Chains A and B, each alone.
Chain A
Amino acid sequence: MSRSRIVLGIVAAIVVAGAGVFAWIAFGPGPMDFAGGRAVPLAKYKAGSPTGVPADFASADPVERGKYLTIAADCQACHTAKGGTPFAGGLAFRLPFGTIWSPNITPDKETGIGNWTDAQFLAALREGKGPKGRLYPAMPYASYTYLTDADALAIRAYLATLAPVRRQTPALAFSWPFNQRWLMSIWGGLFNPNQRFEPNADRSPAWNRGAYLAEALGHCGECHTPRNLAQALDNRSKYAGAVAAGWRAFNLTADKATGVGGWSDAEIAQYLSQGHAPGRGTAAGPMGEAVDLSLSKLTKSDIAALVTYIRTVPAISTPDQPQPKTALAPATHALAAADQHAPLGKKIFEGACIGCHAWSGSGTLTGLATLNGTRAVNDPDATNVAQVIIQGASRSTPQGQSVMPAFGHAYSDAEIAAVANYVTARFGAKPSSVTAEQVAKLRKAN
């Protein structure tokens, strides 16, 4: 065989392999494909109505209904700067190649969306086509694409009732080639199915309602589903957990040890609606925000529907996130392994943390402070432990507001790393080895 033929052969092999990888990435399953069954047009699904507002809101006026859907879609979380006016945009998304700021979606004519037509709104929301160019997928249009026209326009109608806020969105600060918005049309072409929600005829109305809430409105997968090389959701590992915005979103699959397969329905429901389930953990960071702004305001029936849907996501085991250890730590301070693993961490823990978390980890004052059994302290990367130490957390419960202060300001990266390592070693299944450098990165991630 001549040399040139060998080279040609190799090139061909690479092209074929490349195409295979490309096809693997581009033609992966959709978010609801795991369920099998028959997808039917909405109008054909007679068992119930999975879209729109729940029965409790059936007689509410259109603005109230739009508000409920806006809350369920959690637009506010991203379209509000830290400490800023809701929906006026300005929250920074810091990515490796630059920063993008969420836009102002109040009805201000110049700086908001007051001048948009309904068609422009729908195109932006569901196709990522803004009037001034393509949107980056930081906006979850690949999820919102499943929204019905009616629901999308109800959201639009609600946003139109907000007080207009004049607030210019800062210009994109991405490096080349990422600053080329048109490239996003390729991305959208490949990864945005651009189709409306179709119920699964073989599933119950509750399941379909849950699917609509989780996929079209709540866009749970945007954080909980890992991404592929092209930064699109890889539904082959649907809900298997991922790190997003510097926080770990945990495995939500039915896996008993590492997912939520071992949780009762009531526990999942409580976690979603209150951000806390005893012995399972307390939501903080982006999940805490999702609970505060969105999930806690959903009706009981909608929470139940979400539980029904989430329960059916097939188990995927993620051994890098071991099964949470639930046993209490000793009630006295000495625990040789943990003490040696992070002596500086112990020193800080016994001063600043002990008052609420106790040596046993059992949260002597409020169940929200219980460490044992939580996903966070059982994450061997201690991502969320470190983040909670840096940023603190705040949960409103039926018993009142419960706050963990943010220690990031006064404690060094090394100290935060040491506390995280001590906490995982003392209360978790596997000690973490977070470094000061990693903490510095986590600080910058949000």
Chain B
Amino acid sequence: MVTLTVNGAAHDVDVPPDMPLLWVLRDVIGLTGTKFGCGIAQCGACTVHVDGQPLRSCQLAVGTLGTRAVTTIEAIGATTAGAKAQRAWLDLEVVQCGYCQSGQIMAAAALLATTPSPDDADIDAAMAGNICRCGTYVRIREAIKKAATAA
């Protein structure tokens, strides 16, 4: 039995400790906003925050989490940076199929939380790990800049 704190709520889950957080979130807790894309830390679709840090949940064994707080796309709107990112995403119509966008927004929210006015190099550094097969990159860059200037 592993106890997790996800989006502020405690969950006792009966899973092996080496099970990646991604599958615990999706298949056990039922939070399907976090997506599976590659399973090898190459695409970023599974990005969540652990104590505010963006991490690949497909590679993160739940047994190593301890009491650290997990935040997923379902709750990121409650943070200032997350809400700003979501608003900018809508304003600039970033999204296409949308499948990668949970991960994109989680990565962007983490960036905005630590770097309120990111430049292009900061955006590259924070976002290059997230693949978008629909090719929304140009708008992701714009949206992050827009979110940064939003009140």
* A contacts B directly (C-beta below 8 A): yes
Given contacts A366-B59, A399-B63, contact A333 B125 (CB under 8 A): yes
Residue of B nearest to A348 (CB): B128
A355 touching B18 by the CB < 8 A rule? no
With a cutoff of 8 Å between Cβ atoms, the chain B residues found around residue A347 in the complex are 124, 128
Query: Which residues of the other chain, A, contact B59 by a CB distance below 8 angstroms?
Result: 355-356, 365-366
Is the CB of A354 closer than 8 A to any CB of chain B?
yes
Contact of B53 with A by CB under 8 A: yes
Q: Looking across the interface, which residue of chain A has its beta carbon closest to that of B19?
A: A400
- Report Cα–Cα, A403/B58, bound state, in Å: 12
* List of B residues within 8 angstroms of A364 by Cβ: 53, 55
User: How many pairs of A and B residues are in contact by the CB < 8 Å rule?
Assistant: 52
Tell me if A83 counts as interface (CB < 8 A to partner B). no
Which of A333, A350, A354, A365 touches B60 (beta carbons < 8 Å)?
A: A365
Interface residues of A in 318-365 (CB under 8 A from B): 332-334, 347, 350-352, 354-356, 359, 364-365
Residues from chain B with Cβ under 8 Å of A350 in the complex: 124-125, 128-129
Whether a CB of chain B sits under 8 angstroms from the CB of A189 is no
State the main secondary structure of chain B at its contact with A: mixed
| B41 lies within 8 A of A355 (CB) | yes
Chain A residues near B126: list those with CB within 8 A.
333
| Contacts known (A354-B129, A399-B61); A365 close to B56, Cβ less than 8 A | yes
Q: Given A351-B129, A355-B56, A364-B53, are A399 and B18 neighbors across the interface (CB < 8 Å)?
A: yes
Q: How far is the CB of B24 from chain A (nearest CB, A)?
A: 14
- Complex contact A405–B40 (CB within 8 A): yes
26 A-B pairs whose Cβ atoms sit less than 8 Å apart in the complex: A332-B125, A333-B121, A333-B125, A333-B126, A334-B125, A347-B128, A350-B124, A350-B128, A350-B129, A352-B42, A352-B129, A354-B125, A354-B128, A354-B129, A355-B41, A355-B129, A356-B41, A356-B56, A359-B125, A364-B53, A365-B41, A365-B56, A366-B61, A399-B18, A400-B18, A405-B42
